């Protein structure tokens, strides 16, 4: 059973990640799993915290004012749920997230969102360093193909798996959605 001092942290679950701008991605069921987690946390009266990425790059689909900057409908904040806006990769940098969590006695985070090897990983690492018990939901995150320094494509699934492997056991516990749902 997850204690009531646990919050679901949804990172950058925004429309921009449907844009072909990013290239191929893995885990097409990430959004369905994010929605299932949000429904379950809400049903238990547990906090759901949202983070929106406001890109500083006017050409990015995540730039404020662009349609992609909006939240995906299935996980958009409900009345009473807090939203933090960030321009950095980490949800704790330049936001009031840490203070918000501490003021409410939240000491555990269940993290889902975009992208596994960028904002999710960066936030999970600092979450651990700040003393929060951290869980990353492996099938409620996704990554996109990347080009390496030599012009070779690294597949999204390889980046996703490597990112989660780096986190598991050192910075976070990595679990599937079903395990989290069973703990609620």
Query: Do residues 22 and 144 lie in contact, with contact meaning Cβ atoms separated by under 8 Å?
Result: yes
Please report the pLDDT score of residue 96 as a whole number: 97
Edge-to-edge strand order for the sheet containing 6-11? Answer: 83-86, 48-53, 6-11, 108-114, 133-142, 173-175
Bridge partner residues of 173 (DSSP): 135
Per the CB < 8 A criterion, the answer to whether 30 and 96 are in contact is no
What would the pLDDT profile of 110-128 be if each residue is shown by its tens digit? 999 999 999 999 999 999 9
Q: What is residue 1's predicted lDDT score, i.e. its pLDDT?
A: 86
**Omega within 30 of 0 (cis) for the link into 176:** no
Q: What pLDDT is recorded for position 80?
A: 95
Q: What's the CA gap between 94 and 179, in Å, rounded?
A: 32
In order of 21, 41, 81, 158, 160, the CA distances from 77 in angstroms are: 25, 13, 6, 31, 26
pLDDT < 70 regions, the chain: none
The reported pLDDT for the residue numbered 10 is 98
- Kindly give, in sequence order, each residue whose CB lies less than 8 Å from that of residue 145, ignoring residues fewer than 6 positions away: 23, 24, 25, 153, 154, 155, 156, 159
CB 152 within 8 A of CB 119: no
CA-based nearest residue to 181, from 62, 46, 72, 15: 46
Reduced to 3 states (helix: H, G, I; strand: E, B; else coil), residue 71 is strand
Is the Cβ–Cβ distance between 111 and 11 less than 8 Å?
Answer: yes
12-37, pLDDT tens digit by residue? 999 999 999 899 999 999 999 999 99
Cα 169 to Cα 81: distance, rounded to the nearest angstrom = 30
Residue spans per domain, the chain: 6-183
- Given this structure, which CATH class describes domain 6-183? alpha beta
Query: Rounded CA gap, 102 and 115, in Å?
Result: 25
Residue 5, pLDDT score? 96
């Amino acid at each position: 059973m997850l204690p009531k001092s646990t919050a679901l942290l949804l990172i950058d679950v925004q429309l921009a990640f449907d844009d072909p701008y990013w290239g191929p991605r893995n885990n097409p069921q990430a959004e369905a799993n994010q929605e299932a987690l949000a429904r379950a946390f809400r049903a238990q009266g547990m906090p759901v915290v949202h983070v929106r990425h406001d890109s500083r790059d006017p050409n990015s689909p995540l730039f404020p004012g662009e349609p992609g900057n909006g939240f995906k409908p299935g996980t958009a904040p409900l009345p009473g749920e807090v939203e933090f806006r960030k321009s950095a990769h980490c949800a704790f940098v330049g936001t009031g997230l840490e203070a918000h969590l501490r003021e409410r006695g939240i000491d555990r985070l269940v993290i889902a969102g975009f992208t596994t090897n960028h904002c999710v990983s960066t936030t999970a690492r600092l979450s651990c360093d700040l003393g929060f018990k951290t869980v990353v939901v492996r099938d409620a995150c996704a990554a996109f193909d990347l080009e390496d320094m030599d012009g070779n494509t690294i597949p999204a699934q390889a980046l996703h798996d490597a990112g989660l492997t780096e986190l598991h056991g050192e910075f976070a516990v990595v679990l599937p959605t079903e395990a989290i749902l069973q703990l609620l």
